[in-house]
Every structure is written in structure tokens, then in C-alpha cells.
Amino acid sequence: FRIIGPTGSGKSSFIARLTGDKSIEIGHTVEPAASEVRHYNYFDESGRSVTLVDSPGFDDSREGFTDADVLGKIAAFLEITFEQDKKLSGIIYLHWITDTSGGVSRRNLVMFRKLCGALENVFVVTTGWDHWEEDRETMEKRENELMRTPGKFFQPVIAAGGQFLRHDNTKGSARRIVERLLKNHPIPLQIQIEMRDGKTLEETAAGSELAAELKKVVDELRKEVKDLKEEMAVAIAEKDEALKELEAERSKIKAEMENISNEQATANKKLQDLERAQVVSREEQARIQSLLEIVREETDRKHRDLLRSMRHQVSVIFAL
């Protein structure tokens, strides 16, 4: 059987619980652990050999590792196993119970459905229950939302025959899920049938979905570029308008400064004229004062001369 799901949903942990292999890398770091399709073998309680296939999710965050790379690796593995007449007893899709199933998880789920086709042998297994023991009621509401919201999340999978199970991150839980899955009659996946019928990977339902998703991304990027160009044009226009306003303001300030300078020059001239007028006034006052002194002295002299003359005349008269 095959295990699929978003990075961090617990694929490697699930396999580690089944096999007891503690060396299996758990992908909780920034770089996903499972970047290749890997398979592991273990024996169930009846001694039967079971092969588990772990594949990367359609959300690998490593630089240069795209959804197309993921699909190519999965398709190549499935094509080889189909040619060897090895069919999958089923697929386990792991989903972290608190995941809102938006964006990345939605893409994983859509690609998962395109890969599988028929969903009778599909188990949707929610993980993370061991982390939420104290808030189980909330998680059960979340589980019900994932299962029963019409047309959303996993409701279409359940409606098409898929089953919904819980995993509490124990070995017993993992083995019970696998035992139920192994009771299914092995059937080929849709992508295996499509490639057997001569379709290229791009022509399969999964390939077409990926192409449509990529086209959507490209269209969104083109729109972003277009919007950015328009924003830049507006910014340039606004910048030009702002420069015009700044230039007008600069000219206005310059004119005001010139007016102030002219007014200052006029004021300085008036002050200088006033000072000169004050100097002239002081000189005129001094000249007048000098003339007054001369007139006063001349008047005094004439007065003295008159007095002397009168005294002389008086003395002459009395002498007769």
C-alpha cells in the first residue's frame, strides 16, 4: 500500500511505528525529509510481508524541487510496479487534524484524487490526536467538519467510497489501520491505467491538473507583473506631479525671499537717509546756535556801547 499526504502530516512517523525502524527520518524540519519515493518492508502479525511506499507531498519546500518533480517520481514508481503486476492494496492519505486544508493541503488532496481515480481502497487517516487529548471535543468537531462539509475537504472522498480513520501515533493504531486496508482487493490507480493506455504523464488527469495549476500560477504572476507596472506608472506620474509642486513651491519661496530682500534693502536705505537727516539736523542746529551766540554777543556789545554813550551824554549835560 502507499502512504501520501502533506509534509509534516506524519507519513514517516506512521511508517516508523509500523516497522519499528527508528532510523526513519521524520520530516518536521524546514526541509522535508521524504524527497524521494521510498519503500519499506515489514511482517504483519500473520507473518505476511507488507510493503509500504512513502512519497513526497505536493508541497515540498526545497528550492528547485517542484510539484512536477514530485509527480514524475510518483508516476515512474507506479509505472514500474504496474509493469511488474504489483498492485496497491490501498492508499493511506494522512492529514493533521488541525490543518485547515487550505492552499497547500488542498493541492495535495486534488492531486491525490487525480492520481487515484476510484476511491474504494482509500483511507483518510487524521493524525495529531495524541497532541490534543485535553481538547478532544474540539478535535471531534474538526473531524466532523472535514468529513461532512458538502463539497469540501474530504467529504467528496468519503462520498466516493473512501474511509475515515484516526491515528493516535502508536504502533497498535498504525497496525490496525493497515490490517483493515489489507483486506481490500488490490486495484490499479487511475494514473497507472492512463499510462498503460499510452498517455504521457502530461496527458493523465494528474498531469493535466498540475498543468492547470501551473497555468493558474503563471496567470496570477502575470497579473501581479501587470499590476506592478501600473502601480509604477502611477508612482512615476505622482512623482512628476510632486516634483512640479515642489518646483512651484520653491519658486514661490524664492520670490518671497527676493521680496523680503528688497524690503530689507529699502528699509536699510530709509534708515541711512534718516541717519543722514539727523546728522544734517544736528549741524544746522549748531550753525543756528552759533549765529544766535554771535547775535547775542553783538546785541550785548551794542547795548554796552549805548549805555556808555548815554552815560557820557548825561555827564556832559550835568557838567554844564
Cβ contacts of 264 within 8 Å, gap of 6 or more: none
- Residue 172: the pLDDT is 92
CA–CA dist 288, 174 (Å, integer):
128
**Which DSSP helix (H) or strand (E) runs through 208?**
helix 205-319
Beta strands in the chain, from DSSP E residues, in sequence order: 2-4, 38-43, 49-54, 91-96, 122-127, 163-166
Instruction: Tell me the pairing of strands 49-54 and 38-43.
Output: antiparallel
- What residue segments make up the domains of the chain, in order of their start? 2-203
- Which cell numbers in the block locate residue 319? 557838567
Please tell me the distance from the alpha carbon of residue 193 to that of residue 133, in angstroms, as a whole number: 42
Q: In what order do the strands lie in the sheet with 2-4?
A: 38-43, 49-54, 2-4, 91-96, 122-127, 163-166
C-alpha span between 244 and 104 (Å, rounded): 48
CB 40 within 8 A of CB 52: yes
* Cα 165 from chain centroid (whole Å): 36
What is the reported pLDDT for 127? Answer: 92
Let me know: does 134 contact 126? Beta carbons within 8 Å. no
Structure confidence at residue 292 (pLDDT)? 66
pLDDT at res. 167: 94
2-203: CATH topology is Rossmann fold (3.40.50)
Grid cell in block for residue 181: 486496508
Task: Kindly give the confidence (pLDDT) of every residue in the chain, 320 residues in length, as a single tens digit, with 9 standing for 90 and above.
Answer: 677 777 778 888 888 888 888 777 554 443 344 457 788 888 888 888 888 888 776 765 555 567 777 778 888 888 888 888 877 788 888 888 887 655 445 666 777 778 777 778 889 999 988 888 778 888 899 999 888 888 888 888 888 888 899 999 899 999 999 988 888 888 888 888 888 898 888 888 888 888 887 788 788 888 888 888 888 888 888 777 877 887 787 788 778 778 777 776 776 676 677 667 666 666 766 776 777 677 677 766 766 666 666 666 656 555 55
Q: What is the pLDDT of residue 122?
A: 87
How many helices (H) and strands (E) the chain has is answered by 8, 6
pLDDT for 28: 45
